[in-house]
Amino acid sequence: MKTILLTSLFLLAFCLPALGQQKMYEPKSGSAERTALINAMRDHDLKKNPDISDETFVASGLKVQSGWAYANVEQKTSSGQLVYGQAHVFLQKTGNVWKVVFSTFNDKNEVGVDGLERLK
């Protein structure tokens, strides 16, 4: 009896948190959520480098789950030229606002430790 109770408590402790989690999904193109995610990335990068205001952000991969998002993003000029290559961005939703918590893009077009500094 004691073994059954302990086993049940163990399973409940590890399975219950998973029940509240949302499945991973990709926001549809043109949706308000996708637009909010792209705008959060654009705002984050514009604060660091105002010269990119005419660039287009293209998300080749965008996944959302339980208030977190991952994006694989390319920045292109108005003529369609690739600026940086692919950047990897992690975002977190706080309240109704998406914020970048980590990005491999920086104003020197290089991956650096500045991304790790922003996490602190």
Domain 25-119 has CATH 3.10.450.630: yes
Q: What is the DSSP letter of 110?
A: S
Task: Read off the pTM.
Answer: 0.67
Residues 60, 22: Cα–Cα separation, whole Å: 22
36 confidence band (pLDDT: 50, 70, 90): very high
Question: What is the model's pLDDT at position 6?
Answer: 47
Could you tell me the pLDDT band of residue 35, with boundaries at 50, 70 and 90?
Answer: very high
Q: Which of 103, 99, 98 is nearest to 117 (CA)?
A: 103
Report whether 61 contacts 71 (CB < 8 A): yes
Q: Where are the beta strands (DSSP E) in the chain?
A: 56-65, 68-76, 82-94, 97-103
| Residue carrying structure tokens 């980590």 | 102
17 vs 66, which has greater pLDDT? 66
The answer to whether the CB of 51 falls within 8 A of the CB of 45 is: no
Express each pLDDT in 1-30 by its tens digit. Answer: 555 544 554 545 554 455 556 799 999 999
Six-digit token pair at 30?
């043109």
